[in-house]
């Protein structure tokens, strides 16, 4: 080792002592703020993995339960294959009502409904039919 390096090592050793001394001079306010920064960083880690996602060891079990529930729901609502269920009359009319309610144009027409006019027009048609017949 050259004398330069030996000197540098000695210098390093002394510099380290001085730098460590400088750390001990850091005031309480700064130390407190550094501590707060550290806690914020640790909280960021826990936020990054939400509680419900954090239990990675439970994930396979959670997945299996979810899959089983999903399968049960599908089977529950599944109709028998190849059998066309007849639609009862009442159910059919209620479905039409739903179609009408869902149809925005039909609702628009309903808003502009002129009852007396259509009743008068219908009575006129009936009267013409009777006179012709």
Partner 1 sequence: MPAALHGDVELTDPEEKTRSRALNQFLAGVELKAFKMAQAALRNEDDALDAVQDAMLQLARAYANRPAEEWKPLFYRILENRIRDMQRRRTVRGRVFAWLPYRGEDDEEEPDLIAQARSPDPQPVRRLELDEAVGALEKALGALPPRQQQAFLLRTLEGLDVAETAAAMGCSEGSVKTHYFRAVQALRAQLGDLYV
Does residue 18 touch partner 1 according to CB under 8 A?
A: yes
As given in the structure block, the two tokens for residue 12 are 């390093």
Does residue 74 touch partner 1 according to CB under 8 A?
A: no
Does residue 22 touch partner 1 according to CB under 8 A?
A: yes
Q: From the CA atom positions of the chain, what is the Rg in Å?
A: 42
Up-side HSE of residue 82: CA atoms within 13 Å toward CB? 0
Which of residues 6, 8, 98, 107 is near partner 1 by CB under 8 A? 8
* Closer by beta carbon to partner 1, 46 or else 91: 46
> What is the DSSP code string of 100-127?
HHH-HHHHHHHHT--HHHHHHHHHHHHH
Q: Which of positions 30-49 make contact with partner 1 (CB under 8 A)?
A: 30-31, 33-46, 48-49
Does residue 68 touch partner 1 according to CB under 8 A?
A: no
Does residue 127 touch partner 1 according to CB under 8 A?
A: no
As given in the structure block, the two tokens for residue 22 are 């400088």
Q: Please tell me whether residue 74 adopts helix, strand or coil conformation.
A: helix
Where does this chain bind partner 1 (CB under 8 A)?
7-8, 10-12, 14-23, 25-26, 30-31, 33-46, 48-49, 51, 54-57
């Amino acid at each position: 080792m050259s004398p330069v390096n030996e000197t540098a090592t000695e210098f390093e050793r002394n510099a380290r002592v001085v730098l460590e001394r400088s750390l001990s001079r850091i005031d309480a306010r700064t130390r407190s703020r550094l501590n707060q920064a550290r806690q914020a960083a640790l909280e960021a880690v826990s936020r990054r993995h939400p509680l419900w996602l954090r239990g990675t060891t439970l994930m396979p079990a959670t997945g299996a339960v979810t899959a089983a529930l999903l399968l049960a729901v599908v089977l529950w609502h599944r109709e028998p294959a190849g059998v066309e269920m007849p639609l009862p009359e009442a159910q059919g009319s209620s479905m039409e009502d739903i179609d009408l309610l869902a149809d925005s144009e039909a609702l628009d027409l309903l808003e502009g409904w002129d009852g007396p006019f259509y009743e008068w027009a219908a009575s006129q048609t009936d009267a013409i039919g009777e006179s012709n017949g």
